[in-house]
Chains A and B, each alone.
Chain A
C-alpha cells in the first residue's frame, strides 16, 4: 500500500514537469505564430476580413504602425466590447452595419473623433455626436431568379414581400446583422406594428437562410424566386466568375422605400485605448482618399463614403434612392426583441 501511495504522489509532479517542458519548448514557436500579441494597434473588425486585410498593409506601410485584427460579427464584437469595458485591448472598432456602433456609443465606450476625420465624410453618414463615422455603405437589394420571376412582377416596395402572392417564393437571413440592420430601418420608417406585421408576413412566405450567401445560392439555383440581400454579394460573385449569379439579377428598390435602405459601416476609436493617437491615424487613413480608393479597388464592391472616390462596375452611388434614416436612430436591441417575438431567433 505504501508503494501505491507513492505512485499517487509522484504522478501529478511528473505531469507538472512535462507541462512545463512542453510550454518551454513551444513558447518560441507560439511567439513566431503570433500567438502572443505585442504593442500593435488592435482592431476589432466586424467588416469582411478580406476588405480590411487589403487596407491594413497599406496603412502599415504609410505610417509604420503595426496592426492586429480580431474578427467577428457586428453585434458579437459590440457586445464583447461592452463586456470587456475598460479592460478591452481594442483600439479601433469597425462594423458592417451601424446598429452595433450605436450600441457601443450608447455605452459611452467611444472617444470623440477629430474634425479632420469627420469632415471627410458627408454628415448624413455619421452620427451627430461625432463619436464614430461611416466609411463604406451597402445597398439593400432584392435578388431574383430570372427564370422564375418576370421583371414586371417585381415588387415596388420591400413591404410587399409580406403579401400572399410571395408565399413560398422568398429567402432571407434574419439571423445576420445585415438583415437586422434592414429591419432596424423598417422599424424606424414604418413603426413597430407595421414592422411586426411585415416580419410575420415574410416569415410565413419565406425560407430562412443561414447567411446572405446561402440566400443568394437559393435564388440563383431556383430553390427560391427572390431573396433579400445586400448588393455586393451578387456583384462579387459576378466579378470572380462564381456560380451564384448566372441565373439571377438584382432589383434595386427606389423612391426612398425601406427596401432601398443604405446601411452604413462604421469606424470608431475606443475610449479605453492606450494607442488613441495611432487609432485615430487608422480611422483617418480609412476615410482618406487613398484608403477609400484601396477599398474601392478591392474585391469588396462596397460604396466608399468619401465623395472624392467613386466605385466603378456596379450601380453608381448617385443613382441609389435610399430613405433618409438617421444612423443613430437604428436600434439593435429593439430589432432583436422583435425578431425573437416573431420567432426568428
Chain B
C-alpha cells in the first residue's frame, strides 16, 4: 500500500519529465542536434556551469563557516548572528537582485550574479549545518582534541565528516535552486539555460526547443544527484541515545575575534542591508509609490493561503516517499525518492507547461483551477520537503520503534508516541521551507493560477518589469515580512539540539 502511494507520487513527479520527453520527441534528431549544436547554446551552458560551480562552492563555504563560527566559537552575540545568517531566506532572490541592480549596475556581470545568488542561497547550507553541529555530540570532538589534534585538524577530520550529510544536502539544494533560478538572473541580465527556456516560452509558449533545453537542465540535475549520492555514501548515522547534553567547548577566537565579527557584519550588510535599503529607498520616492492597500492586502492573503496549502501538501506527500527510502531501503524505494528530484532542476515554467498540457487534454475541468496550481507547487517543491523530512527520519533509530513495539505499543501508537514527536520538527521545517518557496514562486504561478489571481510575487514582478520600481517595493516588502515567520521557525528549529 505504502509502496503504491510512493509509486503514485513518483508518477506525479515524473509527469513533467514525461511531458518534456514527449514534446522534445516532436523534433527530429537532426533538428534537435542543429538546435543544440550552436554557439548560443554553448554560451548558455558555459554560463550555467560556471554559475553553478561558483555559486555552490561559495554558498557552501559561507554556510559552513557561518555555522561553525556560531556553533563552535566564542564569537560575541551568537544568537544574534544566528538570526542574521538565517534572515536572507526571508529575502527572495529576485528581491535581492532588484535591490542590488537598483543600487549598482556592477552586479550585472558574472561576478555579480555569483555574489547575489550566494547571498540569497547560503542559508540553505547554513541551516542544516548549524542543526547538525548542534546535534553532534561534542564529546567526539573533545576526544579528538585530547588525543592531540589541533583545532583545524579536529574540524577537518572529525567535525566536517560528521556533519557532511547536512552540508551535502544543503549544497544540493543550492545547486538545484541555481539551475532553476529565473527572477534574480533576469534582473541581473545573466543568461542561463533557465532564462533561455523562459525566453523560448515567451516567444513560442511550449515549443520543443524550450523542452529540449529543459532536458539539458534535467541532465544537470541528475548529475548533481549522482554526485551527492556518491559523496553521501552508505554510512549509518542514527544512534541510540543522543550523547551528553553538555555545551561544546567553544574555540576562543582570540585576535581573530573582531575580524570575524567584521566579516559577519559584512555578510549582514551585503545580504540584508543592500536589498532592504533599496526597498526602503524606493518606498520613499517615485510617483508610482501610491500604495494600493486593497490590492496589497488581497495579494498578501492569496499568497498566505497558497503558501500554507502548498507547504502542507508537499510535506504530506513527502512523508511516504521518505519513509520508504529510509525504512525500506531498496532499489525501487531509492528510485522513488530520486525521481522526486527530477522536477526540481526544471524551471517552474516547464512544470507549469506540463500541467497545462496535461490538464487541457486529460482533465479539462481542472485547467486553470487552484487544484492544478497546488499540484504544481507540490511537484516543484517536493525535493525541499523530502530533504528536510529525511534529515530527521534518518536520525530516528529503527531500534527505538522496535523497542516500543516489543513493549506492547500498537503500530499507530508507535507512530504517535515515538516516531511523530521525533520527526515533528522535520515536518514543520519542511512545511515552512515549502511555504517560503511557494510564497516567492513566480513563473509557475503566472501560468497555472486561476485567471485573476494575484500573489505578492506576481504583483512585484509585474511592477518591477514595467519600470514601476516604486510600485514594486510594497509588494517586495510584504513578501519579506510574510517570509519572516517561516524563516524564524526554520532558524529556531535548527537550534533545537534534538536531545
Contact = CB atoms under 8 A, between A and B. Distances in A.
A70 B451 contact: yes
Interface in A301-318: none
Interface stretch (B156-164, B466-474, B482-490): B466-474
B301 A343 contact: no
A240 B357 contact: no
B360 A240 contact: no
Given A8-B1, A71-B462, A343 B38 contact: yes
Contacts of B301: 29, 32-33
A154 interface: no
Given A9-B1, A42-B451, A76-B205, A3 B414 contact: yes
B453 A33 contact: yes
A184 B295 CA distance: 37
Contacts of B367: 87
Contact of A180 (B203, B411, B458): B203
A34 interface: yes
B53 interface: no
Interface stretch (B66-74, B140-148, B166-174, B194-202): B194-202
Given A84-B360, A175-B202, A26 B189 contact: no
B370 interface: yes
B305 A26 contact: yes
Given A11-B2, A89-B451, A221-B105, A79 B206 contact: yes
B411 A210 contact: no
Most buried by B among A40, A243, A340: A340
Interface stretch (A12-20, A108-116, A188-196, A247-255): A12-20
A241 B286 contact: yes
Contacts of B196: 345
Contacts of B356: 80, 83
Contact of A80 (B205, B370, B411): B205
B5 A12 contact: yes
A142 B395 CA distance: 62
Given A6-B411, A175-B202, A69 B288 contact: no
A73 B202 CA distance: 6
A89 B411 contact: no
A177 interface: yes
Interface string A30-58: 10111111001010000011100000000
A211 B288 CA distance: 20
A83 B204 CA distance: 11
Given A7-B415, A29-B305, A50 B466 contact: yes
Interface residues of B, number: 70
A328 interface: no
Contacts of B364: 87
A302 B59 CA distance: 45
A34 B411 CA distance: 43
Contact of A12 (B108, B207, B320, B370): B320
A84 B5 CA distance: 32
A2 B348 CA distance: 42
Contacts of B465: 211, 213
30 contacts: A3-B410, A3-B411, A7-B411, A7-B415, A8-B1, A11-B320, A12-B1, A12-B5, A22-B309, A34-B298, A36-B369, A36-B450, A42-B451, A69-B452, A71-B458, A75-B202, A75-B204, A76-B201, A79-B205, A83-B206, A83-B357, A87-B364, A210-B186, A214-B189, A233-B467, A240-B288, A336-B203, A339-B203, A345-B199, A345-B209
